[in-house]
Amino acid sequence: MSSPSLARRADTSPTDAHTHPEILVLSVHPDECGADAAEHWARRVPGARPALSSDATLDEQLGTAQQVLVLDPGALAARRGFGARATSQERLQLIARLAGRRAQVTWARTAAQATRWAETLQA
C-alpha cells in the first residue's frame, strides 16, 4: 500500500505545459523510497524535477524532457543507500515507456554515476 505523500506526488498532474521539466530524474522503484531518491537527485541539478516510473503523466513529462536520469540501483548501491532496487517487472515496464528516447536517457546504477551525470549538467 502506498503512503499518502507518495499518492499525492504520483497523482499530481501539472496543467500548464511550462511546468514540465527539461530535466527529469526518474526512479524505477515506484514507492516512497524511490520518490525520496528522485527528489534527492533532482535537487542536485537546478530545474530538475523528480518523477516515478508509475506517474500517470510520465509519458507527457518524458516528451518534454531534454535529459532524463533513471535511478536504477544495483544490489550493492541499494545497500549503500542509493535507493531501493526495482523488480524486473518494474524495470521492463519502464524500458517499454522509454522506447524511442534513448538519446535523452542516462541510467545510473550507483551514486557515483548519478553524481557524474549531475556534474556534467552543471558544467
Identify the CA nearest to 38 among candidates 7, 69, 65, 2.
Answer: 69
Residue 2 lies in a domain: no
Domain count, the chain: 1
CA distance 104 to 63: 10
Domain assignment of residue 91, yes or no: yes
Domain that holds residue 72: 21-122
pTM of the model as a whole: 0.80
Domain presence at residue 27: yes
Q: List, for residues 49-97, the tens digit of each pLDDT value.
A: 999 999 999 999 999 999 999 999 999 999 998 988 999 999 999 999 9
Q: Is residue 71 part of a domain?
A: yes
Task: Locate the DSSP E strands across 1-123.
Answer: 23-27, 48-52, 67-71, 105-108
* Angle, CA 96 vertex, CA 106 and CA 107 arms, to 5°: 15
In a domain, 16, yes or no: no
Q: Classify residue 79: in a domain, yes or no.
A: yes
